[in-house]
Amino acid sequence: MQVHQNYSLKKYNTFSIDASAKFFATFSSADILEDLLESNKDIPKKMILGGGSNVLFTKDYEGLVLKNEITGIQIISEDDEFVFIKAGAGEVWHQFVLYCIKNNFGGVENLSLIPGNVGASPMQNIGAYGAEIKDVFYELEALHLEEKITQKFSATDCEFGYRESIFKKKYKDQFAILNVTCRLRRNPEFNISYGAIEDELIKMNIQDLSVKAISDAVIRIRTSKLPDPKEIGNAGSFFKNPVISNLEFQEFKILSPEKVPHYKTDTDHIKVPAGWLIEQCGWKGFRKGDAGCYDKQALVLVNYGNATGKEIYNLSEEIKISVKQKFGIELEREVNIF
């Protein structure tokens, strides 16, 4: 249980921002975490860090960073229709997906190659290509950082929303997620409603649909337009896709002479791609120093080498202002700012 001081976080965040933590330690079990919390209770500020794929450090962290390294994947129950799989919060999300693909368990194939760890999946309600974690989520266990009591949370308890959960709102910074249990289908129901998947499957000449084929298609799509964090620092989608009312959408169309891509979320609301809005404002491919907007996907802000977190943040502010001025739409960051 070694606690390091003034510890670099550069390799622990996918933006590769060279910030440091005043104190840093790792934990691989709930017991170790409890011991760390108890022995460092005099440090008031604490942060649980997972894969570092959805954070932007704009300054050094003046507190204790606790990195979650709880691993393990196990089937805890199953029946003719479903299999319930528990994964440690420190497991790499894509490795969990590959485990499910290998065993032909359906439900997470559309979420292939999303960066980060399993623990962040319910916190962010991760989603892509017509699927979200809430579609397969069963329950999770989390430790309350102050009371040191482990609690179970059902899907209802998590209050899932679009890239939201109770852990980003009411319980922000209060819990450490220990493990997540998902309910996967033994007989997969394929979801290829997102047009890009269908197109990619045609290109791949897939005759027999499978979870493996869908996963491969998603991986091909993602790698074609998203930068690998190992090569170019980034946190994936920096902004959420805005959801607006039907009336707002009609007003919005008047402001845009272009054909506006959009997706109906329910009878009263429409989702507009944030990447399209940003691109229309001329940011795609923009670069200032080592901070930039990726040239293949405007939704992704990147660190080309030595950008500071503050420089990335300032760029995101400029983008927000320009989209608001041009379209009257307020973009919301998906990435957590520290």
Which residue of the set 20, 91, 163, 311 is catalytic?
A: 163
237 belongs to the catalytic site: yes
Query: What are the start and end residues of each CATH 3.90.78.10 domain in the chain?
Result: 233-337
245 belongs to the catalytic site: no
- 73-185 in CATH: which number? 3.30.465.10
Mean pLDDT on 217-228: 94
Residue 19 has pLDDT above 90, yes or no: yes
Q: Could you tell me where the DSSP H helices lie in the chain?
A: 30-39, 93-102, 120-124, 155-158, 195-203, 211-225, 246-255, 274-280, 309-327
163 belongs to the catalytic site: yes
Query: pTM for the full model?
Result: 0.90
- 4-68 in CATH: which number? 3.30.43.10
Residue 252 has pLDDT above 80, yes or no: no
Task: Report the SS3 class of residue 208.
Answer: coil
Residue 126 has pLDDT above 80, yes or no: yes
Structure confidence at residue 251 (pLDDT): 75
Spatial separation of the C-alpha atoms in residues 120 and 61, rounded to whole Å? 20
pLDDT band at 322 (very low <50, low <70, confident <90, very high): very high
Q: What is the pLDDT of residues 38-73, one digit of tens each?
A: 999 999 999 999 999 999 999 999 999 999 999 999
DSSP 242-282: PEEEHHHHHHHHHH--SPPP-EE-SSSEEE--HHHHHHHTT
Residue 77 has pLDDT above 70, yes or no: yes
Spatial separation of the C-alpha atoms in residues 139 and 47, rounded to whole Å? 22
Which residue of the set 91, 237, 311, 316 is catalytic?
A: 237
240: nearest Cα among 214, 270, 271: 271
Spatial separation of the C-alpha atoms in residues 115 and 132, rounded to whole Å? 14
Burial degree of 12 (CB within 10 A; 0-12, 13-18, 19+) = buried
Structure confidence at residue 193 (pLDDT): 81
CATH 3.90.1150.10 fits 233-337, yes or no: no
Residue 314 has pLDDT above 70, yes or no: yes
pLDDT band at 257 (very low <50, low <70, confident <90, very high): low
The overall average pLDDT reported for the chain is 93
pLDDT band at 283 (very low <50, low <70, confident <90, very high): very high
95: CB partners within 8 A, 6+ apart:
none
Structure confidence at residue 262 (pLDDT): 79
Task: Report the SS3 class of residue 300.
Answer: strand
Spatial separation of the C-alpha atoms in residues 309 and 151, rounded to whole Å? 34
